[in-house]
Amino acid sequence: MKALLRRPRNIEGATLAVEGLSLDRETYSFTFHKKTECLTPKEFMLIEYLMKNKGRVVSRTMILEHVWDDSVDQFSKSIDMHIMNLRRKIDPRDKDAFIRSVPGHGFMVGKKNG
């Protein structure tokens, strides 16, 4: 009984899909418009966090708290660089095809709720 209680309540599948982008948690890769590419661990953590929050604007502070550790400088351009690299990998022709900037607020994927 104790072993059952220790198991995670919300077991996640091997893939996560949002608006045509499929993220493979086992291979750290994604597929978008029939194109598959591998991600770095940080890119993977960032896109996974954004996808789990689809339809919601995610602030830089939220990203720092959930994706980076405590040693990162809040004012560094690390988030911007990783977002830029993800956009290039996902669709170099359309930079806002999947990850959209919300000026003054952060980033989002998916249609905004409400």
Tell me the pLDDT band of 57, cut-offs 50, 70 and 90: very high
In the three-class reduction of DSSP (H, G, I as helix; E, B as strand; rest coil), residue 97 is classed as: coil
* 13 DSSP assignment: -
> Which of 101 and 4 is assigned the larger pLDDT?
101
Please check the confidence at residue 11 and state whether its pLDDT lies above 90: no
Amino acid at 81: M
CA distance 18 to 52: 9
> Contact at 8 Å (CB) between 41 and 49?
no
Residue 14 or residue 43, greater confidence: 43
Here the tokens at position 61 are 């502070």
Domains of the chain: 2-108 (1.10.10.10)
- Given pLDDT bands bounded at 50, 70 and 90, which one contains residue 8? low
Is the pTM value of this prediction over 0.85?
no
Query: Do the strands 21-24 and 29-32 form a parallel or antiparallel pair, or are they unpaired?
Result: antiparallel
